[in-house]
Amino acid sequence: MVQQIIFLALLGLVSFLAFKSYRHIYKSIMLGKGMVISGDSGARWKNVFLVAFGQKKMFTRFIPAMLHLFIYVAFLFTQIELVEIIIDGVLGRHRFFASALGGLYTLIINSIEFLSLGALISTIIFLWRRNMLKVPRLVMPEMKGWPTLDANYILIAEIVLITAIFTMNGCDSLLQKLDPSHYPDTGHLAISSIVGNVFFAGLSESTLHFLERAGWWLHIIVVFGFLLYLPISKHLHILLAFPNVFYAKLTSRGEMSNMPEIMNEVKSMMGLGDAGEEEPPMTEELPDFGCKDIFDLSWKNILDAYTCTECGRCSSVCPASQTGKKLSPRKVMMDIRDRTTEVAAALKEKNYDKTAYDDGKSLFDYISEEELFACTTCNACVEACPVMINPLEPILELRRYKILTESAGPGDWLPMFTALENTGSVWQMPNERFDWAKPLEEAEEG
């Protein structure tokens, strides 16, 4: 009864704190501009099942994909046992589903244990890859400090969780013979029976009771801790990958959005406007183009940032990054998330009212011009992302602000801009862009 009361109190506290944390994440994402999501919902759900659930894009790198798959599938299956643990905690029962499911229960728990063993091996390999092998994309400058600690914390927590599962089940397999009235028969659990006989055989019944309960409580405490930790971790992608993939663009990944003001001006210059269409009224103030801070990005761009797994696949294929330029698409997404986190924390007490917020800072305090102008807009980062994040969109928006609003940009770009403005061509030639076609027009008229 005491355990039941403690569990209910802990469950209530964790649920309350988790609700506040995840609400804050939602409010943080919605600090971005509104945007209309259109397109075939069937195609969107297909992406969710193939990319988010099916891990389709992970398999461009087979070995890490298989290791991740063990952890991912084990995580999904372990939720079945977690549901049972929560029911047991609330009702003060033990192995609630065991008697009702019979042989199916044995199959489910055996599956969870085999997957957990695979996840344990994968986790150890991931720790080795990060800290000993030092895979290049995992030790880039932006990964120093908290990002590396964050990854290691989760991997260590995974080992603790699996240890708790095998301790609980290993002792349980022995207690089923010693105290069948309190420990229902689960059938033969292949791994737990080995663990029980190797590590716990010969211990007294009271010691086995203590270790089984310790494993049970450690399991649920790690899960509750993970739930509260997620909002400050890159592992938030476990939840956000699904909506992020659902709302990803359905059009070509290389398609860039035009700015209506610029497009209309160019059409007017080239005589491509619709007949009878009135030109927009001239105003003394020029509009701000592109993006300066998170408020100018769309909520989808910010959702991208919070979904970033920090895997570094985008930066590992970026030609600018690989040739020694300062640009790292992963860093750009991490910077957007860090800036959003900073702003959201300041606005939390003001009910997230962004209308009058100004701390004198912007995204350019995080992302330098050198990074932005190094981008070749090749879309390699967009194609590489396993959860369909688009780092190119915010890079373009920030660059547009620098060039069109602040008239900034690399010196060697200025001749191109001048030529484009004067002749409609990016090449510095004395001829107008369409001069080559004049003889053809004259021949047709003749």
Beta-carbon contacts of 179 under 8 Å, excluding residues fewer than 6 positions away, are 205, 209
Q: Is residue 6 part of a domain?
A: yes
Average pLDDT of the chain is 89
Q: Is residue 271 part of a domain?
A: no
What's the number of domains the chain is made of?
3
Q: Is residue 234 part of a domain?
A: yes
Claim to verify: residue 69 and residue 209 sit in the same structural domain: yes
Claim to verify: residue 109 and residue 241 sit in the same structural domain: yes
1/384: higher pLDDT: 384
Q: Say what the pLDDT of residue 236 is.
A: 95
The stretch 202-210 carries a mean pLDDT of: 92
Claim to verify: residue 162 and residue 293 sit in the same structural domain: no
Claim to verify: residue 21 and residue 150 sit in the same structural domain: yes
pLDDT digits (tens, 9 = 90+) for 385-439: 999 999 999 999 999 999 888 888 888 887 887 777 777 777 777 666 677 787 8
Claim to verify: residue 446 and residue 355 sit in the same structural domain: no
Claim to verify: residue 77 and residue 116 sit in the same structural domain: yes
Q: Is residue 281 part of a domain?
A: no
Q: Is residue 253 part of a domain?
A: no
Claim to verify: residue 337 and residue 400 sit in the same structural domain: yes
pLDDT digits (tens, 9 = 90+) for 332-386: 999 999 999 999 999 998 899 988 788 999 999 999 999 999 999 999 999 999 9
pLDDT digits (tens, 9 = 90+) for 115-126: 999 999 999 999
Structural domain including 431 reads 412-446
237/36: higher pLDDT: 237
Claim to verify: residue 49 and residue 190 sit in the same structural domain: yes
Q: Say what the pLDDT of residue 182 is.
A: 86
Rg (Cα) of the chain, in Å, rounded? 28
Domain boundary among 190, 219, 246: 246
Claim to verify: residue 79 and residue 226 sit in the same structural domain: yes
Q: Is residue 198 part of a domain?
A: yes
Claim to verify: residue 215 and residue 358 sit in the same structural domain: no
* CATH code of the domain covering residue 383: 1.10.1060.10
Q: Is residue 265 part of a domain?
A: no
Residue 211: Cβ-neighbour burial (10 angstroms; 0-12, 13-18, 19+): buried
Q: Is residue 400 part of a domain?
A: yes
Q: Say what the pLDDT of residue 293 is.
A: 95
Claim to verify: residue 236 and residue 221 sit in the same structural domain: yes
Claim to verify: residue 13 and residue 85 sit in the same structural domain: yes
